[in-house]
Amino acid sequence: MENTMATKAEPRRKTRSEFSHSKIARDLGTAIVTGRSEPGAILPGEVELAAQFGVSRSVVREAMRALATRGLIESKPKIGTRVLPREHWHLLDPVVLQWMFDAAPSPKFVKSLFELRMIVEPAAAELAARKKTGRHLASMGHALEEMARHTLHTSEGQMADQAFHAAILEASDNELLVNLSASIGAAVRWTTYFKFRSDKKPRDPIEEHRALFDAIAQGDGEAAREAAMSLIGIAERETEAALQDEV
């Protein structure tokens, strides 16, 4: 979605020039989720914001609409635009999640997120072990090979990692699980990939991935569940390390 991924291989990947309203939504959105704009506070008026950003009021309004749709703000005539309390935020919206992780999410939030992953993803793996088809196993196997060949230090290996987990979710045959885990997994993985300082690279948990694959291939739901939990545990430790490494 957001083209955060910088593949230096490609000569000049079409940047898909970001539109103004999108940029402004991100500016205001990150200000909110990072706490720079406190819940309950009133944002500057639309005309003032338009002046600040050097755009027309229409653009500001479209950005506002995007934020309101994500439960971050609420606008009323004569009142202005108020930052909503945190419990209204759509924290599982992929973009909101991205904004949270682009900054430094609180340890408690990270803990909550991995608590949720510990609930959902092992269950998804178990379902996948029960409902898998040959096609799913083929994509998983292929992705696993690619991961092993390129390692997670290359963008090809990272793509393969994503593909592997996406294939598991697809195999679970539950579109809601796909929706939920995909956005979470994506946000967290990109964070890990990009924020790690060069001297402490995350290791390749290739053995654990293979264990998960084998469990699913053999239809062993319980083993799949445990393998998934093991992988999430690794991811949690690495995410915490990556976030601590920031400034």
Partner DNA sequence: ACTGTATATTTGTCCGACAATACAATGTTA
Partner DNA sequence: TAACATTGTATTGTCGGACAAATATACAGT
Give the residue from 38, 37, 40, 24 showing the smallest Cα distance to 82: 40
Euclidean distance between CA atoms 170 and 165, whole angstroms:
9
Candidates 8, 12, 16, 108; binder of DNA (CB under 7 A) is 16
Residue 79 touching DNA (CB under 7 A) = yes
Specify the stretch interacting with DNA by CB under 7 A; choose among 1-9, 51-59, 86-94, 181-189: 51-59
Q: Based on CB atoms, which residue is closest to DNA, 39 or 80? A: 80
Q: Which residue has the tokens 């309004």?
A: 61
> Is residue 109 within a helix (H) or strand (E), and if so which, with residue range?
helix 107-131
Q: Residue 12: which of DNA, its own copies, none does it interact with, CB under 5 to 8 A by kind?
A: none
Euclidean distance between CA atoms 183 and 179, whole angstroms:
7
Residue 106 touching its own copies (CB under 8 A) = no
Candidates 25, 28, 32, 59; binder of DNA (CB under 7 A) is 59
Decide if 231 contacts 181 (C-beta within 8 A).
no
Q: Based on CB atoms, which residue is closest to its own copies, 101 or 196? A: 101
Candidates 86, 130, 142, 210; binder of its own copies (CB under 8 A) is 86
| Cα torsion 184, 113, 196, 202: sign | negative
Kindly state the smallest distance separating residue 63's Cβ from DNA, in Å.
9
Q: Residue 161: which of DNA, its own copies, none does it interact with, CB under 5 to 8 A by kind?
A: none
Q: Which residue has the tokens 């609930």?
A: 119
Kindly state the smallest distance separating residue 95's Cβ from its own copies, in Å.
8
Tokens of 144: 């696993």
Candidates 133, 179, 218, 244; binder of its own copies (CB under 8 A) is 179
Residue 3 touching DNA (CB under 7 A) = no
- As a whole number of Å, the CA-based R_g of the chain is 20
Half-sphere exposure of residue 195: CA atoms within 13 angstroms, side-chain side = 20
Q: Based on CB atoms, which residue is closest to its own copies, 178 or 217? A: 178
- For the chain, the distance separating the N- and C-terminal CA atoms, rounded to the nearest angstrom, is 27
Q: Residue 235: which of DNA, its own copies, none does it interact with, CB under 5 to 8 A by kind?
A: none
Decide if 46 contacts 57 (C-beta within 8 A).
yes
Q: b/e map of 132-146 (b: 16 or more CB within 10 Å)? A: beeebbebbeebbeb
Kindly state the smallest distance separating residue 26's Cβ from DNA, in Å.
12
Residues within the interface to DNA (CB under 7 A): 16-17, 19-21, 43, 45-47, 54-59, 61-62, 64, 75-81
Residues within the interface to its own copies (CB under 8 A): 21, 58, 61-62, 65-66, 68-70, 86-87, 89-95, 109, 112-113, 115-116, 119-120, 123, 127, 174-180
